[in-house]
Chains A and B, each alone.
Chain A
Amino acid sequence: MRRTLRWLLLATHVPASGSGGGMVRYCVELARALHDRPDVELHVVCTPEAQAFFTDLLGRDRVHLLPAMPVVLRSLVERGGPRLLPVLRQQWDVVQGAKHLVPRRAGTAIRLLTVHDMNPLDRPADFSALKRVGLRRPYLASVADADVMVCVSAATRARLHAWAPDADGRAAVVHLAASPSLLAAHPVAVPELEGRSYVLVVGDSSPRKNLALAFRAWSGVAARHPAAVLAVVGPPSWGPSQLGAAAPLVASGQVELLGYRSDGELSWLYQHAAALVCPSQLEGFGLPVVEGEALGVPVLISDDAAMGEVGAGAAVPLSPHALDQWQDALSAALEGRLPGTSPAPVRRAWSDVAAETVEAVRGAG
């Protein structure tokens, strides 16, 4: 039996509901999977609003609070180390930063950083001026300080190496997995789309997600398939949005903006879609790709390297410059001519993600 690791996960970005975008889902699913392991004693640092959620998940004695404060201040505290975050003075084997930062110091603990992407550096224009300028140095300093890093894709590791060549040798690739709650959810029909033929887009509307490409392509597809709908699921963008480009298509009923949907509804949407479209320009991983494949929907992706890696062999990559190819592929999907429509076996679970993360840590210890 291997020695039990006392593991502290910084989870201050998780909201009260425990649900949210990619980084929130990563933190919650990894916490669940690590907690299930006999060789990990998982604790989390969270804000008071998420206390009940994590107490239900882990138990009261495993939850440590950081007082509510603005995000910038919270990041400074997390980065500041034991002086600002007293829980770090305890004896830990691993302290994991799951959102860009690890503490400057953490005693003898191995500092583990999850590298979701290098977007703040590779596409700074997508971020507010404060984040654009304020995040890059602490992020790269965290990369320099981390003893071990887990990158969610080889493409992300390549970008990490480009920005921080000395990270070589400290960074492992640990792919994510589809959400178990999504895969287990009982499908719940979405009335707006019941009995209709549609193509699905999953993701927020920030410029990086490139919904504008899907809207442009759909204008041509709608002429060939007037009854078909482009269904867009996702939370509002945290910054600028491309939904404005869809206004005429929404008005004419060719695009349905569905907003946030439950796991049951999302499961139904995946399973009844003619295709899943992922036009994003830059992803660290591309979770909808694995979710779509797991639920048996044909997947069209852009030229993004991470999505190409994650969807290798199953997703169809298309150049964002070839609008006609997108339109042909979308038409083929609506006519049932796109290959790969049988549900793919689930290749990975979050227990695999946790196991590989623990291995990366033990390899460094």
Chain B
Amino acid sequence: MVQGDLSTVSAVDPASVVLSVLHVHGRAETTQARRMAEAERALGWQVVASRVSPTRIRQLASDVDVVVLHGARAGFVGRLVLRGSRATVLVPRPGRWCASATGTALWERWAARWASGVLLADPAAAATGVRRGVWVPPFVVGDSTELSAAVLTRAHAFGGPSARLAEATGTEGSSSAPPGR
């Protein structure tokens, strides 16, 4: 049984689960992306990193459990390409979540349906997103890579947001749960 803050996210230690994760970043890999990837490799997860490219994202995402989009550019392109078909977690740059112009806020509102969650450093950022009507489930993880990993396992368990919506509306798709390993 897990303890502490982690217990508010998951009852199972993320180390007991083996996931494959794609980290997509902008021109340069961020420190947070690097830290997350290192921590996930230490858990025994399969981790792939890529710069933003629609083709690459499409190719690589088909073989992973969770896609993590770092920064605004990766968040924009990644969601547009995947459209919630995979568990998709956003990692905005510190202080940048829903912080900019009206056009961006409109896009974020629309694209919220394609995200499983957003990892945030502090509660104020979560409040900003809600105030602007961006309904992506926020997870305030600070700089804890353990909490981030737990959110990724939960996102995978929930499945891609579009697949869930399809199941809920009975339009298409299959079970929301991922296949067992």
Contact = CB atoms under 8 A, between A and B. Distances in A.
Nearest to B176: A207
Given A212-B176, A320-B178, A240 B130 contact: no
A317 B11 contact: yes
B62 to A, nearest CB: 18
Nearest to B11: A308
Contacts of B8: 154-155, 157-158, 305, 309
Interface stretch (A47-55, A161-169, A267-275): A161-169
B2 A245 contact: no
Interface stretch (B23-31, B35-43, B72-80, B120-128): B120-128
Given A207-B164, A212-B176, A321 B181 contact: yes
Contact of A161 (B1, B123, B176): B123
B126 A162 contact: yes
B122 to A, nearest CB: 9
A161 B139 CA distance: 9
B2 A322 contact: no
A162 to B, nearest CB: 5
Given A125-B164, A163-B126, A305-B8, A321 B156 contact: yes
A288 to B, nearest CB: 15
Interface in A301-319: 301-305, 307-309, 312-313, 317-319
B164 A123 contact: yes
A210 B11 contact: no
Contact of B135 (A136, A305, A321): A136
B115 to A, nearest CB: 11
B181 A322 contact: yes
Contacts of B168: 125-127, 207, 239-240
Interface in B1-60: 1-2, 7-12, 16-19
A161 B17 CA distance: 27
Nearest to B6: A305
B92 interface: no
A337 B154 CA distance: 29
Given A213-B177, A322-B180, A322-B181, A305 B139 contact: no
Contacts, number: 130
Contacts of B16: 319, 322
Interface in A94-138: 121-127, 136
A127 B153 CA distance: 23
B121 to A, nearest CB: 12
Q: What is the size category of the interface that chain B forms with chain A?
A: 35 or more
B138 A308 contact: no
B136 to A, nearest CB: 10
Contacts of A25: none
B180 A165 contact: no
A281 interface: yes
A210 B11 CA distance: 16
Contacts of A165: 123-124, 126-127, 140
Contact of B138 (A163, A305, A323): A163
Given A121-B137, A163-B138, A302-B11, A242 B164 contact: no
B167 interface: yes
Given A158-B9, A313-B1, 14 more contacts: A121-B137, A125-B165, A158-B8, A162-B140, A164-B130, A207-B164, A207-B167, A210-B177, A212-B177, A281-B157, A303-B157, A308-B1, A312-B1, A321-B153
29 contacts: A121-B135, A123-B164, A125-B164, A125-B167, A125-B168, A126-B168, A127-B168, A161-B123, A162-B123, A165-B124, A165-B140, A207-B164, A207-B176, A302-B12, A302-B157, A303-B154, A305-B8, A305-B11, A308-B7, A308-B10, A309-B11, A317-B11, A320-B178, A321-B17, A321-B18, A321-B156, A321-B181, A322-B181, A324-B181
